[in-house]
């Protein structure tokens, strides 16, 4: 393990190791924390990687503590990586009374507006810097990567996959913000991070990326029908329409009575991990 990465904690779980690590990020100009579950199969061979991107107000710890992914990840031989959702620390610009912006709300964009541009570069962090670190420090098969996430993290997973289709074998989401450029709880953050010219926002909006020609073979989305953010922030029907027009295979499951919480996520976590594992193993799409 290199001097640039520190072990915060490590615990045995389901035969593997759940670790939490920190490192000095050049991209975000601060120390960043992330979690990695390494399954028992990694003692024998490099294992495929699945990225989980968390939502607003979260850190790496929310899914690690409540997502219930380790048993299935150990069974399937998946390395699960859970980055933080924003830069943090003294000197990082923030709006402490605004849960939809700043700390815990990086929106997986590379900010261009001051004072945020120096630190809020979560797209480059998740898409470039952290994968390079994972490749160096863990027994990861980086030729087999998948990505998924929740809410703001579902938005991040969709946009990162659409912009890097050669890197990821599969992409799914729980209750993603599918059109953040117009959603009430993300549009103000986009303006602060990216400026008033809405053309610059298009590169971080899944529906608009699809409109502009970006493609991914298939997408899998679970959405609760009792989610309080469904009509204002999430609006999965916009992704459904964009995928239908573009010919992208979308499996959208509206889960009756489920809300936006980790009770919802943990219920369907196994389904998502199995779905990704089939594609990471080279099984036929649609299985």
What does the DSSP 8-state code read for residue 41? G
Q: Can you read off the two tokens belonging to residue 68?
A: 């219930």
Question: What is the rounded CA–CA span in Å between residue 146 and residue 169?
Answer: 5
- CA dist 85 and 189 (Å) reads 14
Task: Report phi then psi at 151, rounded to 5.
Answer: 60, -115
Q: Which of 60, 214, 260, 276 is catalytic?
A: 260
2 is catalytic: no
CA distance 132 to 53: 17
DSSP state of 275: H
Catalytic residue among 84, 150, 227, 272: 227
In the annotation, is 260 catalytic? yes
Cis check for the bond before 115: say yes or no (omega within 30 of 0): yes
- Catalytic residue selected from 151, 170, 181, 186: 151
Distance CA 69, CA 269 (A): 6
* Active site residues per annotation: 151, 227, 260
């Amino acid at each position: 393990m290199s001097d640039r990465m520190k072990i915060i904690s490590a615990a045995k779980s389901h035969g593997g190791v759940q670790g939490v690590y920190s490192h000095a990020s050049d991209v975000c100009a601060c120390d960043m924390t992330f979690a990695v579950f390494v399954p028992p199969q990694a003692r024998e061979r490099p294992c495929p990687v699945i990225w989980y991107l968390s939502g607003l107000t979260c850190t790496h710890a929310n899914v690690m503590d409540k997502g219930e992914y380790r048993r299935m990840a150990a069974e399937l031989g998946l390395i699960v990586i859970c980055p933080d959702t924003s830069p943090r620390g003294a000197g990082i610009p923030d709006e402490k009374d605004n849960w939809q912006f700043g700390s815990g709300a990086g929106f997986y964009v590379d900010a261009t507006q001051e004072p945020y541009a120096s630190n809020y570069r979560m797209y480059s962090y998740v898409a470039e810097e952290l994968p390079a670190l994972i490749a160096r420090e863990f027994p990861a098969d980086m030729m087999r990567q998948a990505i998924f996430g929740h809410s703001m993290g579902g938005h991040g997973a969709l946009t990162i996959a659409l912009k890097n289709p050669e890197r990821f074998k599969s992409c799914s989401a729980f209750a993603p913000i599918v059109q953040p450029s117009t959603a009430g709880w993300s549009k103000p953050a986009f303006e602060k991070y990216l400026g008033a010219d809405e053309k610059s926002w298009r590169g971080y909006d899944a529906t608009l990326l699809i409109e502009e020609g970006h493609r991914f073979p298939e997408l899998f989305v679970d959405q609760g029908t009792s989610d309080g953010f469904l009509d204002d922030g999430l609006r999965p029907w916009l992704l459904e329409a964009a995928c239908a027009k573009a010919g992208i295979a979308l499996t959208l499951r509206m889960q009756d009575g489920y809300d936006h919480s980790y009770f919802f996520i943990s219920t369907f976590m196994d389904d998502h991990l199995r779905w990704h594992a089939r594609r990471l193993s080279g099984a036929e799409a649609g299985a």
